[in-house]
Amino acid sequence: MASSSFVDYVKIYLRSGQGGAGSHHFHRSKSTPRGGPDGGDGGRGGHIIVKGNQQLWTMLHLRYTKHIIAKEGEGGSKALSTGANGEDRYIEVPLGTIVRDAETGEIECEVTAHGETHIIVPGGRGGLGNDHFKTSTNQAPRFAQPGEPFTECWKIFELKILADVGLVGFPNAGKSTLLSVISAAKPEIADYPFTTLRPNLGIVPYYGDKSFVMADIPGIIEGAHEGKGLGVRFLRHIERNSVLLFMIPADSKDIKKEYKILLNELKQFNPELLNKGRLLAVTKCDMLDEEMMKQMKKELPRTLPTVFISSHTRLGLTALKDLLWAQLNA
Cα 69 off chain centre by: 22
In the Cβ-directed half-sphere of 306, how many Cα atoms lie within 13 Å? 21
Angle value at C-alpha 280, between 278 and 281, nearest 5 degrees: 140
Going residue by residue through the chain, which has 330 residues, state the pLDDT in tens, using 9 for 90 and above. Answer: 444 556 888 999 999 999 999 999 998 888 887 888 999 999 999 999 999 998 888 888 998 999 999 999 999 999 999 999 999 999 999 988 999 999 999 999 999 999 999 999 999 999 999 999 999 889 889 999 999 999 999 999 998 877 889 888 888 778 888 988 888 766 444 444 444 446 777 889 998 888 888 888 775 655 444 444 444 556 677 777 889 999 999 988 899 999 998 888 888 888 888 899 999 999 999 888 888 888 888 888 888 999 999 999 999 999 999 999 999 997
Cα 284 off chain centre by: 33
Whole-structure pTM value: 0.71
Q: What is the DSSP string of 113-133?
A: STT-EEEEEPPPPPPPPGGGG
C-beta of residue 110 within 8 angstroms of C-beta of residue 162: no
All structural domains of the chain, each given as residue ranges with its CATH number in brackets, are: 1-159 (2.70.210.12), 165-328 (3.40.50.300)
Q: How many CB atoms lie within 10 A of CB 157?
A: 23
